[in-house]
Amino acid sequence: MRFDHPPLEILVVDHDLTTLEMVQIRLDVAGYRPIAARSGRAALELLATCRPAALILERRLPGMCGLELLRTLAASPDWRAPVLLVGRKLAEEDVRSGMQLGVRDCLAKPFSGAAVLERLNRLLTRSTPAFAAARPAVYINT
Amino acid sequence: MTAPMTSRTLAPSMTTTLEVLAAEIELAGARCILLDRIIGEAMGRLPNEERDRLVPSLHTVDLLVQHLTNLAAFARSLSLATPDDVTAPVEAALSEITLGALVERMAQGMGRDGSPTAGADVEDAGDLDLF
């Protein structure tokens, strides 16, 4: 699935190399500009210089976990990007806490590339007026 | 003699094993999607007759993408249907894999601690380990 929109930067934070590369490729082919980080600290360093349109975040990360990263980001007045929380067996409590910190949707692992793209497109349509306006009524299969 | 990566024998659950397998097949599918795009771009620069000659090959790549995404879906679905208490004897099966980065990623996904994959670059994935 490919939407005709300007290339939006999407930050993907996941320690798992397989998922990270798969999501990066799918985002790239769909016309996004993926930025990858393998830890919360690495994500924070990247966020010092970029403002992604959305964040795809693994709940479990080494060191600073996904929710801790979101707590740090929530403390910043500039941070408004919607978050897609991903993970294996996401606990209801994590989802509830995440919702208060910018999580707009969740996706359980293992997931397909198509599923992550569909969720991201939906999340951006709801959260980013410019994206919704740029998105055509008909999408093109690739 | 080569030192083992860990003294602990891997015995992940069948669920985890199938999840790891599904993720790797999904990645292979994503790489084929990327390949499909690259071939499509390259074909766009070819003369019409050359392009027509290569169209069946491009369809083969499309078919491969569908083949892999369907296999990934099968493995994912099977992982959801498998009881957590069933373990998988993966050591011998992992030793069949000759791609160094692939076997490290899979072993780490199946619970092997201290895998050299930690901290490795994504660009290393798929390196052929001949020895």
Mutate to test the interface with A, among B33, B41, B115, B117 (most CBs of A within 10 A): B33
Give the per-residue pLDDT at A87.
Answer: 94
A16 vs B33, B109, B119: nearest CB? B109
Look at residue B74 and tell me whether its pLDDT is greater than 50. Answer: yes
The tens digit of pLDDT for each residue in A113-126 reads: 999 999 999 999 98
Q: Is B115 on the interface with A (CB under 8 A)?
A: no
Mutate to test the interface with A, among B13, B16, B19, B26 (most CBs of A within 10 A): B26
Look at residue A101 and tell me whether its pLDDT is greater than 50. Answer: yes
Q: Given an 8 Å threshold on Cβ–Cβ distance, is B30 in contact with A114?
A: no
Give the per-residue pLDDT at B118.
Answer: 35
Q: Given an 8 Å threshold on Cβ–Cβ distance, is A25 in contact with B109?
A: no
Look at residue A59 and tell me whether its pLDDT is greater than 70. Answer: yes
Look at residue B119 and tell me whether its pLDDT is greater than 80. Answer: no
Query: Can you tell me the distance from the alpha carbon of A86 to that of A13, in angstroms, rounded to the nearest whole number?
Result: 10
Q: Is A31 on the interface with B (CB under 8 A)?
A: no
Give the per-residue pLDDT at A76.
Answer: 87
Give the per-residue pLDDT at A132.
Answer: 57
Which 3 state secondary structure label does DSSP give A21? Answer: helix
What percent of chain A is predicted at pLDDT more than 90? 72
What percent of chain B is predicted at pLDDT more than 70? 80
Give A61 to chain B, closest Cα distance, Å: 12
B24 vs A18, A109, A114: nearest CB? A18
Q: Is B79 on the interface with A (CB under 8 A)?
A: yes
What is the rounded average pLDDT of the residues B15-34? 97
Q: Given an 8 Å threshold on Cβ–Cβ distance, is B122 in contact with A17?
A: yes
Contact A4/A130 with Cβ under 8 angstroms?
Answer: no
Look at residue A135 and tell me whether its pLDDT is greater than 60. Answer: no
Tell me the average pLDDT of chain B: 83
Look at residue A104 and tell me whether its pLDDT is greater than 80. Answer: yes
Tell me the average pLDDT of chain A: 87
Give the per-residue pLDDT at A4.
Answer: 56
Who wins on pLDDT, A110 or A5? A110
- Identify any residues that bridge with B123 across adjacent strands, giving them in sequence order: none
Give the per-residue pLDDT at A3.
Answer: 52
pLDDT band, residue A8 (cuts 50/70/90) = very high
B37 vs A16, A29, A38: nearest CB? A29
How many Cβ pairs within 8 Å bridge chains A and B? 66
What percent of chain A is predicted at pLDDT more than 70? 85
pLDDT band, residue B22 (cuts 50/70/90) = very high
Query: Can you tell me the distance from the alpha carbon of A106 to that of A83, in angstroms, rounded to the nearest whole number?
Result: 8
Q: Given an 8 Å threshold on Cβ–Cβ distance, is B24 in contact with A16?
A: no
Helix B14-44 / helix A17-29 crossing angle, nearest 10 deg: 30
Look at residue B5 and tell me whether its pLDDT is greater than 50. Answer: no
What is the rounded average pLDDT of the residues B91-104? 96
